[in-house]
Every structure is written in structure tokens, then in C-alpha cells.
Homo-oligomer: A and B are copies of this chain.
């Protein structure tokens, strides 16, 4: 029944919007291992692995390191795993909460960075618009 066609890296990368190199890199980093290989050695991925890559991609704007992503994914896996013990779940919750805080802080830094960028950008575009005020950055 489970007519789940497995995908090769090219199709995966295109669907997710990552480079082949990135997908392989995340594998090296331990973020996701292909479901298997063909006889010839081609990586094979399932749909749920595609989703996992999408999840990874959605973390990127926050600027997480691969190590952090790995941690967060582990915690997430634990929370979603019905077989996980009470302790594991609790630890995962703590971890997830920490990441929520880190994420909030990253958003804050992005906001200030955006504000600074916009300020500079504004001045820069005034630099060549000729009005009497001597333009200065």
C-alpha cells in the first residue's frame, strides 16, 4: 500500500530550495541521513525527510548554527516521539524553551539590524540626490 516513491538528491534539493551541497553538508553534520542508497550509491530520501529539510530551511533566517539546529531537531523529535520517557520529554521541553528564548533574541537583533540598515540606506540614497544640504554619511 505504501506507494511512497523515494527521491534522489536532485529532486529533493529542488523541491526544498537548497543546494545539493547544503543537503550533503547537513548530512555530514548529522542533521539528516538519507533513508538509504541505490545499489550504485545514490542517496534516497522519503517525503518526511523532505519535510525535515524544509524545517531546517525555515530555521535559517534565525541564523542558528548547525549544532544548534541539530539540538533543536533532537528536542523536537523527542517531543513528537510517543515512546519517549517522561525525563526525555521534560529535558526536550527545557531545551525547546531555551531555543525559543534564543530565537526571540535573534529576532530582536534582526530588528535592530534592519533599523540600522534602513537608516544607512536612507542616507545613502540621499547622497546623490542633489539638494543644498551637503550630503554626509
Q: Which residues of A contact B (CB under 8 A)?
A: 55, 58-59, 61-62, 76, 79, 93, 96-97, 99-100, 103-104, 106-107, 110-111, 113-114, 116-121, 124-125, 127-128, 135, 137
Q: Quick one: given A93-B128, A110-B114, A128-B100, are A55 and B137 in contact (CB under 8 Å)? A: yes
Determine chain A's interface SS by DSSP, over half rule: helix
Copies of this protein in the assembly total 2
Q: Quick one: given A111-B114, A114-B107, A114-B111, are A124 and B137 in contact (CB under 8 Å)? A: no
Q: Quick one: given A61-B113, A128-B96, A128-B97, are A104 and B121 in contact (CB under 8 Å)? A: yes
Residues of B within 8 A of A107 (CB): 114, 117-118, 121
Cross-chain contact B100 with A121 (CB below 8 angstroms)? yes
Interface centre among A76, A104, A121 (most CB of B within 10 A): A121
